[in-house]
Structure 1
Amino acid sequence: MTVAAKVTLPQVPQWLYQVFTPSNNSNETFDRSFVVLGLIMYMTGLVMVATSSMPVAERLFNNPFHFVIRHGIYIVLSMGIAGVALQIPMSWWQRNSSYLLGFAILLLVTVLIIGRSVNGSTRWIVLGPITVQAAEPAKLFFFCYLAAYLVRRRDQVMENLKGFIKPLIVFAILAGLLLLQPDLGTIIVMFVTTFGLLFLAGAKLWQFIGLASVGVFLLAMLAIFEPYRWRRITSFLDPWQDPFGSGYQLTQSLMAYGRGELFGQGLGNSIQKLEYLPEAHTDFVMAVLAEEFGFVGILLVLILSMIVVFKALNLGRKALSKEKYFEGFLAYAIGIWMCFQAAVNIGASAGIVPTKGLTMPLISYGGSSMITMTIALVLLIRIDHEIRLQSIQATSTKRKGRKS
C-alpha cells in the first residue's frame, strides 16, 4: 500500500499580508505595514538615486558614488530622527502647533536673507555640510497648525465665513514668503491640501467654490505675469516645439518613458541619465525608473504610494470615529499631501502636468524632503499606536468591570 506524499503549499509571509490588509490583532500596538512600506520605498529610492546620479556625480565630484553615499546618510539620519519622533505623543504636536508654525515662518524668512541660490531659486539654508530646504518642514508644520485650528474652530469653519478665512490668511502669509524664493510647486501642494482638509472638516460648498475660483485666478495671474512660468506652461503643452530650449527637459524625460516600454531596459541601462536628462536623480528620478523598469516599475511605485495614502486616509477616518480629531485631520492632511505630491512628480516627468520641482516622496534625492516625509510617516504610525492603545485600555477596563 502506498502513502501519498503530503504537499505543503507556500505560505504568504505575514508581514506582506499585513501591508495589504489592516491588522485587527489587538495585541499589536502599532501598524507594522507602515514600516515595511517605508523601508521598501527607501530601498527603491536608494537604488534609483545610485543608478541615475553616477554620471553627473563623476563629472562634478570625480566620485560616481557621491550622491548615493549622501542619500544613504540621509536615510540613516531619517531613521534616527524617526526613532525620536516616534516617542513624542500627538498631544505635544497639537499643543505646540502654533510654535511650529512660527518656526516655519522663521525658516522661510531666514532663507530669503541668508539662503543659497540654485538655478535662480533661493530655497536652501546652508549649515556647514548640511543644507536645509525651508519649504519642506514648513509644509508639515503648517498642516499641524491647520489640524489643530480645525479642532479649536471647527464649528466656526462650518458655520461662518470668518472661521473659514482665518487659516487662509495664514496660508497667504506662507505663500507670499514661498513666492519670493520662488517656489510655486510648494504653494500648490499646500493649497490643494488645505482645500481638501477644509472640505473634509465640513466647510460649506459655496466656500469651496469661492476659494477654488480665487485660487485658480491667482495661480493663472502668477503664470501670466512671470515669463519663465509662462514658458513652462507653453513648453509643457507642446515640448517638441522647442526641443532644445524650453522643452528640452520634458522631451528628454518623454524619451526615457518611451524607451522603457513595458518592462524597461534593465537596471543601469538608462541612456537619458548620461547627462541628457537634467535633475535625473531629483525631480526626474521617475523618468529614469521608467526607462530602466518600464511601465511595470512605475506601476509598482504607484501602488506603494497608493497603499500609503489609502492607509493614511483610512487612519484619519478611524481617528475621527474615536473622537481624536487632531489626529484624524492630520492623518487626512498627510494622505492628501503625499498623494498630490507623488501625482505631480510623476505627472511632470510624464508630461501630464507642468514641471514644478517637487520630489517623489521617500524616493527622490534630497535630505530635507526625505526627513520631512519620514516624520510624516512616523506621525501616522504614532496616531495608529495611540488609537490601538486606547482600544486596548478600553477592552481591559471592560474586562475588569465584568470580573468585579
Structure 2
Amino acid sequence: MPQARFGLDAWLCGATAALLAWGLIMVASASVAQAEKITGDPFYFFYRQLLFVGLGVALGVVMYCVPMRQWQSSSRWLYFFALFLLVMVLIPGIGVTVNAARRWIDLGVFRLQASEPVRLALIMFVAGYITRRQVVLQHSPKGLIVPVAALLLPCALLLAEPDFGATAILLGVVFLMLFLGGARLGYYAGVLLLALVGLGLIAIAAPYRLRRLLNFTDPWADVENGGWQLAQSLIAVGRGDWAGVGLGNSVQKLLYLPEMHTDFIFAILAEEMGLVGIAILMALFAVIIWRGFAIARTAEVNGRLFAAYLSYGLSGWIGLQALINMAVNMGLLPTKGLTLPLISYGGSSLLTVCAMLGLLLRVDYENRAAAFGVTSAEDPS
C-alpha cells in the first residue's frame, strides 16, 4: 500500500463514496418488483450489487497500489488481451446472447461484459502512444494512424456483437485524448468528420437501429411497441417534478419500465427524487470530472505525460457515459444500452469504473509524492 502521509483527494473519494452508496439505495428501490418476479426475493439484485461494490472497492485498491510505470509498460499487452476478450465473445458457446446481442462471457459467478475492460485497455494504450509519439502526433498526419487503427479494431468487434453505444463512447474518449494530446487541428478535424459520418451511416444501416432513431423522434407514435421504453422513461422523469414522489414510491419500476435497475435507473431516480435529486447527481459527477481533470493537469505540468493522458481519458469516459445515459433517459438521445456509472446494477460496469477511479487516485498519489520529492513514485513518462 502506498504511503498514507501524502493523503487522498477528499473531493474525489467523497463523490465516489456518495455515488456508490446512492447506487446501492437506488438498485434496492428500482429492482424490487423485477427481483420479486424473477427470483422471489425482492432484494436479490441489491445483495448482488452489494457484493459487486465490495469487489469494486477491492479492485480499486489493487489498481491504486500499482505504480504508473508498470501500467505504462503493460499497456500494449493489456490492449491485446482486451481484443482477445472481444473475439471470445463472438465465438458460439462462449459468448452469451441477451436481447439479440452477444456481449457477455459467462464466468459462473457473474457475466463479464467484454466492452468494459476494453475501454480501460484502449485508454491506456492511447495514453502510452501519445506519450511516446506526441511530436509526430502534433506535426504529421502519420501520428493519427496508430491510435485510429487501435480504435477501429475494437469498434469493429463491438459492432459485430452488436454494441453501438460502447462504440460511440470509445470514439468520443479517444478523440478527446487525441485533441488534448495536441493532434494538429486540420488532420484531427478531418479524421473526426470521417468518424462521425461513418458512425451515422452505421446507425441507420441496421434496421433495428433505424427503428430506434424513429422511435426516439416520436416515441408516442408507436408507444405499444418500439416507443414503449422511452415513453415509460419520460413518464417517470415527468412524475418526479421538483422533489420526486419519495424514495421507494416509484410506479414505473413496477414492471412498466424495462431495464429499470440497469440502463434506465436514472429515470427511477428522477421519479423518486425529482429535479433536486437530478441536480445533486449531476453535481457529484461534475466533482469527479473536475478532480479527474485537475489531477491530469497536475501530472501534465510535471511532465508525467502517461499519467496525465490516462487521467484525461478516464475522467472523460466516466463523464461522457454518465451524460449519455442521462440524456437517453430524458429522451435527448436515442437508446444506447449504456449504464449510469456507479449507480446502475451490473458487475462489469461497476468493477471497471472502480478500477478507473483507483487509477485516478494513484496518479494523484504520485503527483503528491513528486511534490514531496519522492521520485521513486514517478513513472518514466
Range class of TM-score, shorter chain? over 0.9
Q: What's the secondary structure of 1:123's corresponding residue?
A: strand
Matched, 1:121 2:105: no
Correspondence for 2:164: 184
Q: What's the secondary structure of 2:128's corresponding residue?
A: helix
Q: What's the secondary structure of 2:31's corresponding residue?
A: helix
Give me the identity figure in percent.
40
Q: What's the secondary structure of 1:96's corresponding residue?
A: helix
For residue 163 of structure 2, what is the amino acid of its counterpart? D
Correspondence for 2:43: 65
Number of equivalences = 370
Q: What's the secondary structure of 2:97's corresponding residue?
A: strand
Correspondence for 1:338: 318
Correspondence for 1:197: 177
Correspondence for 2:78: 100
Alignment partners' CA distance in 2, 1:159 and 1:133 = 37
* TM-score with structure 1 setting the length: 0.90
Correspondence for 2:378: none
Alignment partners' CA distance in 2, 1:190 and 1:353 = 17
CA apart distance, 1:27 = 5.6
User: Which contiguous aligned blocks of 4+ residues in structure 1 show a shift greater than 4 angstroms?
Assistant: none
Deviations 1:75-126 (A, max 9, x none): 0111111222221001111000000001100110011111100000001100
CA apart distance, 1:394 = 6.6
Q: What's the secondary structure of 1:375's corresponding residue?
A: helix
CA apart distance, 1:245 = 1.1
Correspondence for 1:354: 334
Segments of structure 1 that go 5 or more residues without pairing to the other structure are: 1-25, 396-404
Q: Say if 1:378 and 1:394 are closer, same or farther in 2 by CA, change over 3 A.
A: closer
Q: What pairs up with 1:271-350 in 2 under 5 angstroms?
A: 271-350=251-330
Matched, 1:86 2:86: no
Moved more, 202-211 or 174-183: 202-211
Alignment partners' CA distance in 2, 1:349 and 1:30 = 33
For residue 29 of structure 2, what is the amino acid of its counterpart? T
CA apart distance, 1:375 = 0.6
Alignment partners' CA distance in 2, 1:56 and 1:64 = 8
CA apart distance, 1:359 = 0.7
* TM-score with structure 2 setting the length: 0.95
1:158–1:164 CA contact under 8 A, matched in 2 = no
Larger Rg, first or second structure (1 or 2): 1
Correspondence for 1:56: 34
Alignment partners' CA distance in 2, 1:134 and 1:357 = 14
Matched, 1:75 2:53: yes
Alignment RMSD: 1.3
Matched, 1:252 2:265: no
CA apart distance, 1:234 = 1.0
CA apart distance, 1:231 = 0.7
Segments of structure 2 that go 5 or more residues without pairing to the other structure are: 376-381
For residue 169 of structure 1, what is the amino acid of its counterpart? A
CA apart distance, 1:35 = 1.9
CA apart distance, 1:71 = 0.3
1:253–1:277 CA contact under 8 A, matched in 2 = yes
For residue 69 of structure 2, what is the amino acid of its counterpart? S
Q: What pairs up with 1:199-238 in 2 under 5 angstroms?
A: 199-238=179-218
